[in-house]
Amino acid sequence: MLERLPALVAALWWGSLSTIGPVVVPLLFAQLPSPALAGQMAARLFAAQTWVALACGLVLLLASRPRHAPQQPPWANAAMVFILSGMLLALLSQFGVAPRIMARQDLRLWHSLGTAMYALQWCCALAVLWQTLRHDPQPGALGR
């Protein structure tokens, strides 16, 4: 089970990004009575997504350096830059971009930048997932 933990955590990170941004947030704006209310709810969801990203990144970092293993797992070297980049993008989005969007400062610029950073974080999470699956300890054994 522990060998599969990095793939499960990477899947959670990528899956949550794949659901919140392109599915849930547009539904909020379509279903809630006012754009202001939808924006407040979206901000809360994106904040929660930041903590999911950071928690997943931390677990992945810890899994990349097992205590009693003589070396890193095969996926760790290839995924490290994507883990750190994704975590940094989550932090910058939450604490650099989101406050400016909520303050309604130059919305086009900050919303575009936030969207680009979210998409880049999605790519980082996908790259981490890909690396963890590429080096699966027992390929094809998921159904057993």
The 10s digit of each residue's pLDDT in 57-80 is 999 999 998 777 778 888 898 999
Provide CB contacts within 8 A for 15, sequence distance 6+.
none
> What CA–CA distances, in Å, run from 127 to 24, 85, 104, 116, 120?
23, 11, 33, 16, 10
Share of the chain above pLDDT 90, in %: 80
Residue 9: predicted pLDDT: 97
pTM above 0.95, yes or no: no
Mean pLDDT over all residues of the chain?
91
* Cβ–Cβ under 8 Å, residues 52 and 44: no
Residue 143: predicted pLDDT: 47
Asked if pLDDT for residue 55 goes beyond 50, the answer is yes
Most distant CA pair in the chain: distance in Å? 57
